[in-house]
Amino acid sequence: MTEGNVVFTKSKKFAVRIVKLFQYLRNDKHEYVMSNQLLKSGTSIGANIAEAICAMSDKDFLAKIYIAFKECSETKYWLDLLYETSYLNNQEYSSIYADCEELRKLLSSITKTTKEKDK
């Protein structure tokens, strides 16, 4: 069910980037608090999308997608904070932030489309 699902594929690739960023922040920058929060929220996006794909109803689907959307927003917050406190340079930040924003837009579109379908 996940094969060919664009948002699932993008969220999984994003989660891999988040894990690698977490490792970099821990090992090279010795940052432990924000990196942990980033790991939790950044990997939760894809996990909730995976759950949504197996949803039992449209209402269940929408709830899981909305949680993924909220986790994506939280991830953007941690990325901003890591950048503004100089743990990430502009190049590191811009690249992963763009991926996060793309996911957020996809999830926003999915929630809007699903809500309209239910009307």
pLDDT tens digit string along 70-82?
999 999 999 999 9
Hey, what amino acid is at 103? L
**Is residue 94 a part of any domain in this protein?**
yes
Number of C-beta neighbours around residue 117 at 10 A: 9
**Is residue 32 a part of any domain in this protein?**
yes
- Residue 56: give its domain's CATH number: 1.20.1440.60
pLDDT band at 50 (very low <50, low <70, confident <90, very high): very high
Domain range for 17: 6-118
> Into how many domains does the chain fold?
1
40 sits in which H/E element? helix 33-53
**Is residue 1 a part of any domain in this protein?**
no
- Interatomic CA distance for residues 111 and 70, integer angstroms: 11
> Can you list the pairs that 37-41 forms with residues at least 24 positions away whose Cβ atoms lie under 8 Å?
37/74, 37/78, 38/75, 38/78, 38/79, 38/82, 41/71, 41/72, 41/74, 41/75, 41/78
Residue 4 DSSP SS3: coil
Q: Supply the mean pLDDT for the chain.
A: 95
Q: Which two tokens stand for residue 26?
A: 């821990």
- Which one has a higher pLDDT value, 2 or 81? 81
* pLDDT greater than 90 at residue 60: yes
Q: Which two tokens stand for residue 17?
A: 């980037």
**Is residue 61 a part of any domain in this protein?**
yes
- Interatomic CA distance for residues 21 and 15, integer angstroms: 10
pLDDT band at 16 (very low <50, low <70, confident <90, very high): very high
For the chain, what's the residue count? 119
Q: What is the mean pLDDT of residues 90-104?
A: 98
Q: Which pLDDT does position 114 carry in this prediction?
A: 86
Residue 61 DSSP SS3: helix
- Which one has a higher pLDDT value, 4 or 84? 84
